[in-house]
């Protein structure tokens, strides 16, 4: 029987390490990107980006992979207008929303998503949301948040969206666990089953699959973050009295075990029960990960800052798959939410926060890692330099949390290394033939 992996309280790892702080040129997607996974999660919501043709293009090209999905997002294009044209812009927005809601009567929640063109910044979207909310109440709740590239990076769009939703949550004095952060439905179902088998509950997930099932929150709610990029959401839930449990994130077998353990401890689950519930999936997860270890053991990995998943992923790859960490970059380091993760990283890990893309490229090329995790824009140039890369965005789109996905998580990292090996071997095979 494999034991529960203890998260040693004496472990300090990188807890006191000061990251290299960089505030230079960035190379990341903006917060609109979050719509790609949020529109699949909240199934009766619609995301209306108030933006430019660039925003529409981003959504269309990045979301091209979802061409067969029922679209639940769109763009209201606000062309160049001067200040005198703002009243028209508000009228235009009202018209677009009226048309949308009459065509799509299934929409129960409408998010007006701000962007960064100056014409949009001048628009007061919170007032527009209030006005449209009154007009379409009670059938549709209208909320707003910003996905602007000036204010948000890549995954912060989800944080902004969920934080905007917190005031709409009903209140409760009841104790319960709220798992916070969008997870693929399959992952959510697996984690829910494990927690329920342990007797942890009442249990709810935020965001919910339907906007009419908003979970209640109050001073006896315990929050377990499923994603590491939700600082504003956690703060907003804290203002409603909820308390955040500290845990590593559910990536890899160790992370998932420690994450479940945090919930189990808060809800008084016995060690025996915890063991009995988690033993089989834990062993399946370990076995699935072990298949990838030969490809990853002692390989060196470099993370550019993109998604805020970098630190938990680095912890998992280093501790469970034997990889060596060259640099772990994160767009933002939230020490409190990352406390359990930092404690598990090797003490000498080079951490960086923020970005100065040229300087980081220089460090990356000097390190010559076996694998580099980076944004789409850097991947091709780095591949041309002979480096193997992994797109950070794939790690957000792919279900990688929990025991049953631990093998898939490892595969995402072993695949580029295998591909490179195959390409290297290809000429030899041809020659031999």
Neighbours of 167 (CB within 10 A): 10
Indicate the SS3 state at residue 368: coil
Is 144 near ligand SF4 (CB under 6 A)?
Answer: no
Residue (31 or 416) nearer to ligand SF4, CB: 31
Residue (150 or 423) nearer to ligand SF4, CB: 150
Residues numbered 19 to 78 that lie near ligand SF4 (CB under 6 A) are 30, 32, 51-52, 54-55, 58
Residue (44 or 92) nearer to ligand SF4, CB: 92
Residue (151 or 383) nearer to ligand SF4, CB: 151
Indicate the SS3 state at residue 334: coil
Which of 36, 93, 110, 116 binds ligand SF4 (CB under 6 A)? It is 116
Residue (77 or 183) nearer to ligand SF4, CB: 77
Give the CA count within 13 Å in the CB-facing half-sphere of 194.
Answer: 26
Is 123 near ligand SF4 (CB under 6 A)?
Answer: no
Residue (33 or 330) nearer to ligand SF4, CB: 33
**Piece in contact with ligand SF4 (CB under 6 A), picked from 1-9, 141-149, 245-253, 357-365:** 141-149
The minimum distance between CB 25 and ligand SF4, in angstroms, equals 14
Query: In whole angstroms, what is the distance from residue 59 CA to residue 113 CA?
Result: 12
Indicate the SS3 state at residue 179: strand
Query: In whole angstroms, what is the distance from residue 142 CA to residue 126 CA?
Result: 9
Neighbours of 324 (CB within 10 A): 16
**Using N-to-C axis directions, what is the helix angle for 271-290 and 252-266, rounded to 10°?**
170
Indicate the SS3 state at residue 373: strand
Query: In whole angstroms, what is the distance from residue 47 CA to residue 283 CA?
Result: 40
Closest CA to 256 of 406, 111, 133: 406
**Piece in contact with ligand SF4 (CB under 6 A), picked from 92-100, 146-154, 273-281, 421-429:** 146-154
The minimum distance between CB 89 and ligand SF4, in angstroms, equals 16
**Piece in contact with ligand SF4 (CB under 6 A), picked from 76-84, 145-153, 201-209, 236-244:** 145-153
Pairing label, strands 141-146, 73-77: unpaired
How many residues sit close enough to ligand SF4 to count as binding (CB under 6 A)? 13
Q: Using CB under 6 A as the criterion, which residues of the chain lie in contact with ligand SF4 when the complex forms?
A: 30, 32, 51-52, 54-55, 58, 115-117, 147-149
């Amino acid at each position: 029987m494999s034991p529960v992996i203890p998260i040693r309280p004496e472990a300090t790892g990188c807890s006191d390490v000061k990251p290299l702080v960089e505030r230079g040129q960035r190379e990341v997607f903006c917060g609109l990107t979050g719509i790609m996974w949020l529109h699949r999660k909240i199934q009766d919501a619609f995301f209306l980006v108030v933006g430019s043709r660039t925003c529409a293009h981003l959504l269309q090209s990045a979301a091209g992979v979802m061409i067969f999905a029922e679209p639940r997002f769109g763009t209201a294009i606000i062309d160049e207008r001067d200040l005198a044209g703002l009243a028209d812009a508000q009228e235009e927005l009202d018209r677009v929303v009226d048309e949308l809601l009459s065509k799509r009567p299934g929409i129960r929640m409408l998010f007006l998503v701000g962007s960064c063109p100056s014409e949009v910044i001048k628009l007061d979207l919170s007032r527009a949301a209030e006005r449209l909310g009154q007009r379409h109440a009670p059938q549709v709740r209208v909320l707003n948040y910003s996905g602007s590239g000036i204010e948000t990076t890549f995954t912060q769009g989800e944080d902004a969206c969920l934080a905007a939703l917190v005031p709409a949550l009903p209140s409760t004095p009841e104790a319960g666990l709220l798992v916070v952060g969008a997870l693929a439905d399959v992952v959510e179902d697996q984690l829910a089953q494990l927690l329920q088998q342990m007797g942890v509950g009442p249990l709810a997930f935020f965001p919910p699959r339907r906007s009419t099932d908003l979970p209640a929150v109050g001073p006896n709610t315990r929050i377990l973050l499923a994603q590491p990029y939700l600082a504003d959401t956690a703060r907003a839930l804290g203002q409603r009295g909820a308390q955040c449990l500290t845990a590593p994130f559910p990536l890899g077998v160790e992370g998932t075990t420690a994450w479940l353990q945090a919930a189990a401890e808060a809800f008084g689950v016995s060690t025996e029960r915890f063991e009995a519930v988690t033993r089989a999936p834990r062993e399946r997860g370990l076995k699935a990960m072990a298949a990838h270890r030969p490809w990853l053991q002692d390989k060196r990995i470099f993370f550019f800052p993109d998604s805020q998943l970098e630190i938990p992923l680095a912890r998992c790859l280093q501790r469970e798959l034997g990889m060596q960490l060259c640099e772990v970059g994160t767009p933002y380091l939230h020490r409190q939410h990352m406390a359990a993760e930092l404690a598990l990283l090797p003490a000498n890990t080079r951490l960086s926060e923020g970005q100065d893309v040229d300087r980081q490229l220089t460090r990356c090329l000097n390190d010559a890692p076996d694998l580099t995790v980076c944004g789409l824009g850097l991947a091709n140039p780095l591949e041309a330099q002979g480096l193997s890369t992994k797109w950070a965005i794939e790690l957000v789109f792919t279900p990688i949390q929990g025991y049953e996905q631990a093998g898939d998580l490892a595969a995402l990292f072993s695949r580029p290394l295998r591909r490179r090996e195959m390409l290297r071997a290809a000429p030899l095979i041809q020659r031999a033939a």
